Structure 1
Amino acid sequence: MYISLESLLITAALQYKHADDDTEALARYKFEMEEQLERVCAFYGDDFDKEELRGQLVTFSLHFQKNTEKLEKVTIFDLRRYLSSLSSGQRSLLSQVWRLMQLILVMPATNATSERSFSALRRVKNYLRTTMSQKRFNNLMVLHVHKDYVDSDLDLGVIHDQFVAKSENRLRLFGKANEVQ
């Protein structure tokens, strides 16, 4: 479903790009958009009003083309940046389109990531750690899930020194990071 949501927004953004140049391209974009709109509305049922969403997608397309530089290729990040730059009043006029973007942003592109998260959840919260607070558990899960960033961007020596600086007892017990070998 992620692909359908993303494709619907990108197709809508590009729909009127070639309106003056190529009538055949416009018809192709309209057909693709209708097909994806049907799929999204069928999947989400009552969450979206199909006619309202169709109208908002047309409005969004015209507004996007008018207010952005002519991009040959539009990514979901371009659309997110554009929608985030709108005022709250403009967002409320495009409420259905905004909801589509929110769904894209919170929906995992694949299931593998979420499956790995649940496996990590089982490892982090094992029977030895059942008394762990929810806040600490959430922080550990964020560190575990984003370990690539943590391993490459964090300087553990600085973190150690900040932790030790909180009290004299910690300083006596752990010492400075450059002293620990």
Structure 2
Amino acid sequence: MSFFGVIQRIFSSSTKRWQIFKDHVQGLTVKPLSQTRWESHVDSVKPIKDQTSKIRDPLIDLANISDDSKIKSEAEGLASFELENFEFVFGMVIWYKLLYEINIVSKFLQAENMDIDIAIRQLKGLISSLQEFRESGFDQALIEAEHIASEMGIEPIFREKHIIRRKRQFDEINSEEVTQSPKESFRVNYFLFIIDQALSSLQTRFEQFQKYEETFGFLFSLERLKYIDDDSLLHSCVNLQESLTHDGHSDIDGSDLYLELKLLRHSLPRESKRAIDVLNYLKKMDSCYPNAYIAYQILLTIPITIASAERSFSKLKLIKTYLRSTMSQERLNGLAMLSIEKKVVEKVDYANLINTFASKTARRAIFK
């Protein structure tokens, strides 16, 4: 919070300060921080990391020419106590590395044609990269931070923290306290803490993907389906049947799915390498593989991200206002579906729909 608070203070809403930045820094484009857009954080850190010394100079000029005591004090504090603080420079290198990698994977997962198997591989790769960065990234980031500090003319040293010693009671055992160097304290309490928090969040948020892989993993690709042995294939089919069972009823039959997949993996064309390709092939077979068709349909409806749910809630606020408090659930579902699937609705022939609706809801009575 302190780090991004400084970032936000540097690029405040002051038009005078922004004009001074534009006069000193070429190509400066910074987006303000947003609570709902993760990408805004890396976009805010990048300009400062790449042009730290060029951003410090306008702050010094602002402190010299400003007549406002508040602006003068804030500019001096940012230039002298934040940007010239080696720990802030080091933290900027760490945050950029972390945010950049997460942002790449985040944007990749938001693609419309993203498959769950590719998403799982991307997340595993991200976790492995962060684990590697945790083990060996501190020294690499330190070298880069020292290079930035050298360009700015500041000493690459870690500030000594004041240790508050608690008064001991007369009956306490006198144990020796382990003291850490400022560098080691920064590595443990800042670097490792941030990376561990990121790893913990990733592993917790995407545990469900691992369960999906255990259940649907044998259907992810044609290559995996072809090389799985019969015993493992049968076990996977039975496991999938149990996962899709509710109140004693299952969407598929595991034994029949096993027989269908044994035949399917030999009859699929070579160009069918993804799950969507297999489903398109099953559509053409006119219900010859009913269990496989249902299994692949369920697999491909598992959402990779939750953006669609967020859009649904956004639409709900526009549709069900306080003036529509008596709207029925059926009507609300219909209006929400029309609003969310707007692109599909635009392709519908309204004339046929109106004729169908009129024929089914005719209320004119014929008297003899």
TM-score normalised to structure 2 length: 0.28
Bigger relative contact order, structure 1 or 2 (CA pairs below 8 A, ≥6 apart): 1
Which of the two has greater helix per residue?
Answer: 1
